[in-house]
Amino acid sequence: MEQQVSQKKIEKFDVSLWLTDLNTTEIGIYQQDRYRAKSRQFTKDMDILGEVQEDGKRVGLVAYRKGAWRDEKGMKRRMVIKLFTDEVNWRGTMDLLLGRSMQLTHGARGFPVTSFSCNLSNHDQIIQIERSAYKWFFQPERFSFFILRDRVPHYYVLRRCWINIGGDYVLYDNRGKKVGKLNGRVLNLGGKWKCWVKSEHCGAEMKYVLQMFCTMLRFNQEAQWHIKDLVSDMRKGKLDEELKLEALESDLYLNPRRVR
């Protein structure tokens, strides 16, 4: 239980997502233009979803490319989540990888296996977060990832709780020990997670990954349906003419040792 963890040995933060677009961060005729001027990562179709708080103070903003997700279809429909500081400085980006997700889903015979790529500021590694295809009916879903620290990989699993109605996930380390929890609040209609992680596991990269993961959970079911539909259409030959990845995603698969 969260109460049994020593207060001195854990890091806490909250991720609160708003139900509508009407919020103080976006109200104003030129507000979007100001954000784009502060960061090139804040694109024209970016929509701020919510905020990150520590000790009751806002320390970050979470947003997504609304146009790429809501206005596009097929292979052009992409989920891109971004994390910013409260001053709109870029901290990280989480991309739904269509190519990798479709590969894993195709191999799992249509069971939706989503794969995400996290690119963080001041962190050389591209962190991959993937839904597990090893799942029996009614079992809770799991996501796995690892973080490199001084070239040592630290492995983690996020497993949804067996009994929950608020989207609770438990974080386990490579020994299967509980080292954190994302505690969803079902009464918050937009989505809210109160999170804690043991301090020895909670560097900046862990915080950023979990904050974007909480944001992704708002679209989790939609993302799975999207990938499942794409693979189904691919098998039926409906994607033959549009089976092409966007350039931004294609770049993520390039061989870093290729001759340039």
Give whole-number Cα distances, 100 to 60, 80, 112, 113, 159, in Å. Answer: 29, 15, 11, 9, 21
Residue 224 tokens read as: 């799975």
For residue 210, give the H/E element and its range.
Answer: helix 204-217
Q: pLDDT higher for 14 or 28? A: 14
- pLDDT tens per residue, range 121-145: 989 999 999 999 987 777 899 999 9
Section 157-177 average pLDDT: 89
- Bridge partners of 180? 171, 197
Query: What domains are there in the chain, each with its CATH number?
Result: 2-250 (3.20.90)
Section 65-94 average pLDDT: 94
Please tell me the predicted confidence (pLDDT) of residue 29.
47
Q: pTM to 2 decimals?
A: 0.90
Tell me how far apart the alpha carbons of residues 199 and 152 are, in angstroms, rounded to a whole number. 18
Q: What are phi and psi of 9, to 5 degrees?
A: -110, 10
